[in-house]
Structure 1
Amino acid sequence: MKALVLAGGSGTRLRPITHTSAKQLVPVANKPVLFYGLEAIAAAGIREAGLVVGDTWAEIEAAVGDGSAFGLEVTYLRQEAPLGLAHGVLIARDYLGDDDFVMYLGDNFVVGGITGLVERFASERPAAQIMLTRVGDPRQFGVAELDAAGRVVRLEEKPASPKSDLALVGVYLFSPAVHAAVAELKPSWRGELEITDAIQWLLETGLRVESSVITGYWKDTGNVADMLEVNRLVLEWLDAGTYGRVDAASELIGRVRVEAGAVVERSRLVGPAIVGAGAVVRDSYVGPYTSIGAGCAVTRSEVEYSILMPRASIDGVGRIEQSLIGHDVEVTRAPDTPRAHRLVLGDHSKVQISS
């Protein structure tokens, strides 16, 4: 079995961060979200993965390399535009050959991995196997309708009037039968080749589509709120440890990880939180569920429930919370009116804040 990882989306819901960064490389607990998916694929015993990449191909290839760091052999497949999930299958046709494969969306996060799902598929060999989860607003997702016996009878992409609250999670398993389905597709009203339409074609052709409703955690990290929530969840599992330098005037409370080369001086850190390699926290407070990336600097400031991407700098700011701050951003103090600030800043930004 092979893996097909879709990492070509433009990430419009994460702008302005994704104007300059691949959405799949936005870090969760200081590790790109894409890496969690690659690790899950390798843990399921899969050794070959095709990465479908778009305009950010160079950045993703630089981060992932040949895949050996994950125990994978990675092949890169260029997609000229994000034309739908099924389009990713279409351009990967030669790479996939006649192998079964798991399709994994590179910005999705699934707790517990996919090993059980892969084993079930290999044992039962349906034409397709999908994962479902109950959501509050199904109109934002592909939606599955089940019959009284729990069998999949219909799928629809982002329906205006959903028939159920069961959304498709971004992990699918397919036999080679899906290629015939994809070859028959026409673009949807969104101008994309929809994977839900391909699965519906399999159903209408009389082929078997199996599903399982997951009760664990899943997130599509497509917006800032979801990214911060996944960061919170991963930090809950954090292995604490001090590998950098923490002076005697500082206090670490709870699960706090200070990476090698990091410096903490005259500061209070309340976990779960992580301070990346080479970062500096000085005369500051870092609150729970905060990830401070490599090479960041936080001085005379308060930060909580936030993600700071590498080399971001915060200086003299009263308080920042619920924020996603991009690479090389500078946030500094401006006069007057201290407040809590909520920010989404693109790479290389410079911001002055009253504090």
Structure 2
Amino acid sequence: MYGVVLAAGRGTRMRPLTDRRPKPLLPVGDRTLLESVFDTARDVVDEFVVVTGYRGEAIRESIGESYRGLPVHYVEQPEALGTAHAVAQAEPIVDDEFLVLNGDVVVDASLPRALAEADGTAIAATEVEDPRAYGVLSTTSDGALAGIVEKPDDPPTTLANVGCYAFTPEVFAYIDRTPESDRGEYEITTTIDLLLDDGHRIDVAPYEGTWLDVGRPWELLKANELALAELGDGVEGAGTVEDDVHLHGPVVVEEGARVKSGVYVEGPALIREGAEVGPNAYLRGATVVGPNAHVGHSVEVKNSVLMADASVGHLSYVGDSVLGRGVNFGAGTNVANLRHDGEHVRVTVKGDRVDTGRRKLGAIVGDEAKTGINTSLNAGVKLGAGETTAPGETLTRDRSPER
């Protein structure tokens, strides 16, 4: 059985974190989103086919030709023309039953297992309280799929389409027949309608586990919170921990990392290879200090992700934030992560102000951005890749490179 993983999208809602990388390569715990998807499915598939598009070469370089002993093939979707069009790119390789999984969605291993155990074609579904924002499934008396209706005002059930499927190669002929949708794309749900019209049985695979679409920056924070919740109790790892360090809760210090004297850590926390923390720093909440990142003297980092080579040198506070690769915070940079009025933090996504649903959210900082000393970053602000601030500047509006 093949695992076809859709990883071609540009990830514009995740900007600026995707300005210099494809979204499936964003870090979740100690691996990328794409690797997390591989891990959920590797017990039920024999090889992977990754459908790439935006910055696909970076995915090829990162993953290589195999993952934990399973072959990895790559096909390209040169233009974003919908999910059915993306699946169709795998046809030259796939000659047996296959699963379709998303390269930017956090699920657990029970989902691909349920699809693999289905007989032939299947669709994964989960119960939700309010299904009006989803594709909603109706079923026959024996549990097969009867139909899908997209974002209905009056949902027939509370079964939401998870967006993961099991198919046989027969589906490619139906994709060829799939008409273009009103938004100019070829949708796999339309393909499924064609299969139903021809009398094909499609099983509904129930799923009750984690389901998180990592589409926006604060959802990356949530994905990392979920990943770090899986850490074992106590301190693990082969890194160097100096005297007078206090580690509490689940903490992993990977080989090559160093935690210097005076550091206090309240896990869950992951300090990755080559990272350096301290002296006299404070880490708390679900925090990841990425490979070769640096958290310096008298820095507090709370519930945040620092990607590879990021540096928060000294006398700074970073809360509920995501710092991209190679970010450098000047001394005294402070991030606000809470509104004075107690309302949810709002973030601008593709020109619209969006309620994040979070009372606490700090800054989203793109790769290689730098702040001058004593910079203040407002709650929910985005600093684009390669952007800078002046010493003493207060940033209350997003700053992005001209495009």
Q: What is the match of residue 347 of structure 1? A: 367
Report the secondary structure of 1:17's partner residue.
coil
Alpha-carbon deviation of 1:216?
A: 1.4
Which AA in structure 2 matches 1:297? H
Q: Which residue of 1 aligns with 2:207?
A: 214
Equivalent residue number for residue 90 of structure 2? 92
Residue 147 (structure 1) shift:
4.8
Kindly state the Cα deviation for residue 354 of structure 1 after the two structures are TM-superposed: 3.3
**How far off is 1:146 after superposition?**
3.1
Moved more, 287-296 or 340-349: 340-349
Identity %: 33
- Specify the code of the residue in structure 2 equivalent to 1:252: L
2:257 to 251, 259, 262: 262
CA deviation digits over 1:96-139, x for unaligned, max 9? 23x11111111122123445324422xx33xx211112345545
Q: CA deviation at 1:92?
A: 1.8
Taking a change above 3 Å as real, the CA distance of residues 37 and 329 of structure 1, as seen in their structure-2 partners, is: same
The CA RMSD over aligned residues, in Å, is 2.2
- Of residues 53-62 and 341-350 in structure 1, the stretch that sits farther from structure 2 once superposed is 341-350
Q: Take 1:221 and 1:338, find their aligned partners in 2: how far apart are those partners?
A: 23
- Residue 19 and residue 115 in structure 1: after superposition, are their counterparts in 2 closer, same or farther (change >3 A)? closer
> Which residue matches 1:54?
53
Count of matched residue pairs: 347
Distance 1:147 1:225 in 2: 38
Q: Choose between structure 1 and 2 for higher RCO, CA contacts under 8 A separated by at least 6 residues.
A: 1
| 2:396 alignment counterpart | none
CA contact (8 A) 2:318 2:335 kept: no
Inter-CA distance 159–19: structure 2 relative to 1 (3 Å threshold): farther
One of 200, 205, 211 as aligned partner of 2:198: 205
Please show how residues 137-216 of structure 1 align to structure 2 within 5 Å.
Answer: 138-147=131-140, 150-158=143-151, 162-216=155-209
Unaligned runs of 5+ in 2: 338-360, 378-403
| Greater percentage in helix | 1
Letter in 1 for 2:13: R
TM-score by length of 1: 0.90
SS of 2:18's partner is: helix
Query: What's the offset of the Cα at 1:12?
Result: 1.5
Q: 2:281 aligns with which of 276, 279, 284?
A: 284
- Which residue number in structure 1 is paired with residue 270 of structure 2? 274
1:252-303 deviation digits (Å, cap 9, x = unpaired): 0011000111111121111111001111111211112111110101112111
Counterparts in 2 of 1:176 and 1:235: CA distance versus 1, 3 Å: same
Displacement of 1:220 in angstroms is 1.5
Please say if 1:223 is aligned against 2:216: yes
* C-alpha separation in 1, matches of 2:207 and 2:238: 37
Contact persistence 1:317–1:331 (CA under 8 A)? no
Taking structure 2 as the reference length, the TM-score comes to 0.80
Q: Which residue of the partner structure matches residue 310 of structure 2?
A: 312
